[in-house]
Amino acid sequence: MLLTKFTHACVRLEKDGKVLVFDPGNFSETDRALAGADAVLVTHEHADHIDVDAVAAALSSGTSVHLYAPAGVAAQLRDKAPGAGRRIHTVVPGEEFETAGFSVQCFGGQHALIHSQIPVVANIGYFVDSNVYHPGDSFIVPDGVDVRTLLVPVHAPWNKVGEVVDFVIGVRAPKAFPIHDGLLNDNGRGIVEGHVTRFGAKYGTEYRHLSSGDSVEV
């Protein structure tokens, strides 16, 4: 399976001619990420994780792309792309489904706390093909599964580097790659990734930096 990282939290998976896209948000190269997509998985409603207009256009373009998202996101897209209603699916924690030849398990339930005065929204973490885990904006460790490829939110208004390291240690995937890095400059990225690389290695995780457009087989 080919994994391609785009800016911030957007990741594309390709397998057997099929394409699945995580979180094509407004920080990301949505046109490139969504080109030829068969399925789109959205973790939550924040704009850096879903560019609503771009996704609605993809759903309305005459293709057969399917969208999977928490209820609020699904409802918004049904309004924006009414002709695609049957291809827009609401997902909840604990759900499992197949789409475009990929198997998907759903974990979590809510976004990490940013501040007590900011409402917490629904957030779904997706585990694909018993391999790749995209947690969205949360540090939920998926129970009962062995993650082989972890996508790590390395920087956000809701996290600190110690929590990032603890998440990597908790999951203990053999491989890990960055997501949610769109607000970092090179100096900050070097500090965070240095900690993740060093401590992850102690617990069996090989962390590798990917820039936007980089691809790797997983």
The pLDDT assigned to 62 comes to 80
Residue 155: the pLDDT is: 97
Residue 188's contacts (CB-CB under 8 Å, 6 or more residues apart) are 155
Residue 197: exposure state from Cβ atoms within 10 A (0-12, 13-18, ≥19): middle
Q: Quick one: residue 77, left, alpha or beta (phi over 0 = left, psi -120 to 50 = alpha)?
A: alpha
Q: Taking the domains of the chain in order of start, what are their residue ranges?
A: 2-217
Its sign, for the CA torsion 37, 39, 43, 46, is positive
Q: What is the pLDDT of residue 67?
A: 98
For residue 136, what are its two tokens?
Answer: 């969205």
Per-chain mean pLDDT for the chain: 97
Alpha helices in 27-91 (DSSP H): 30-34, 52-59, 71-80
102 has pLDDT over 90: yes
Report pLDDT for 111. Answer: 96
pLDDT score of 145 more than 90: yes
Coil, helix or strand at residue 106: strand
| Predicted local distance difference test score (pLDDT) of residue 63 | 82
What distance in Å separates the CA atoms of residue 149 and residue 24, rounded to the nearest whole number?
19
Instruction: Please choose, from the candidates 93, 120, 117, 119, the residue with its C-alpha nearest in 3D space to the C-alpha of residue 105.
Output: 93
List pLDDT tens digits, range 36-64: 999 999 999 999 999 999 999 999 998 89
- C-alpha dihedral, 37 to 131 to 207 to 115, nearest 10°: 70
User: Within the chain, how many helices (H) and strands (E) appear?
Assistant: 5, 14
CATH number for region 2-217: 3.60.15.10
Q: Does 31 score more than 90 pLDDT?
A: yes
Residue type, 47: A
Question: What pLDDT does residue 132 have?
Answer: 98
Alpha carbon of 164 to those of 44, 114, 139, 159: distances in Å?
A: 19, 15, 8, 7
DSSP 118-149: S---EEEEEEETTTEEE--S--PPPTT---SE
> What values do phi and psi take at 59, rounded to 5?
-65, -30
What average pLDDT score do residues 2-19 get?
98
- What predicted TM-score, i.e. pTM, was given to this entire model? 0.97
Give the rounded percent of residues in the chain with a pLDDT score beyond 70: 100
**pLDDT confidence of 109, banded at 50, 70, 90?**
very high
The string of pLDDT tens digits covering residues 187-211 is 999 999 999 999 999 999 999 999 9
